[in-house]
Amino acid sequence: MRGLPDLWTHRNEGKDTWSAFDIIGHLIVADRTDWMPRVRTILEHGESRPFEPFDRFAQAKESEGKSLEQLLDEFSRLRSESLAALQALNLQSADLARRGKHPALGSVTLRELLATWTVHDLTHLHQISRVMAYQYREAVGPWSAFSGVLKCSGHSAP
């Protein structure tokens, strides 16, 4: 995404939807407040302390006044820190079976949390490719009939 014109990175799919820029802000917030903090909550408190609910709209504050390049740098730094911290825990199979409490979903395992971290990345890569393609929905002319990504209307969390 570095160096792309704003057309690709700062436009969304209409009212109350996210641009690629917004999505990077969301990934930053998720790495800072969600993934590794929840790993630690499971290891330290098990199911006795529910996870902090995740604020899915905190990225506006996160990204205010920043450029896309600044957000990408910040995400890259945070993700490296998260992965180093995860590796340092040296989790074993028994650890991965430990349970925590999701505020809406109930009992979950550490293994499920880590799988979800990965799928969350893929959800937003899937979304970024759709949001970017949307900006060219008219530019492709009759090829829109053959452009699969233009037929995706999104699959938001409830």
Minimum CB–partner distance for residue 64 and a second copy (Å):
25
Binding site for a second copy (CB under 8 A): 102, 105-106, 108-109, 111-113, 115-116, 118-120, 122-123, 125-127, 129-130, 132-133, 136, 139-143, 145-152, 154-158
Minimum CB–partner distance for residue 65 and a second copy (Å):
28
Half-sphere exposure of 130 (CA within 13 A, CB side): 20
Closest to 50 in 3D by CA, of 42, 59, 61: 42
Minimum CB–partner distance for residue 99 and a second copy (Å):
11
Q: How far apart are the first and last CA of the chain?
A: 28
- Closer of 83 and 125 to a second copy (Cβ): 125
- Closer of 86 and 150 to a second copy (Cβ): 150
Minimum CB–partner distance for residue 155 and a second copy (Å):
4
- Closer of 64 and 157 to a second copy (Cβ): 157
- Closer of 84 and 104 to a second copy (Cβ): 104
Minimum CB–partner distance for residue 95 and a second copy (Å):
16
- Closer of 15 and 155 to a second copy (Cβ): 155
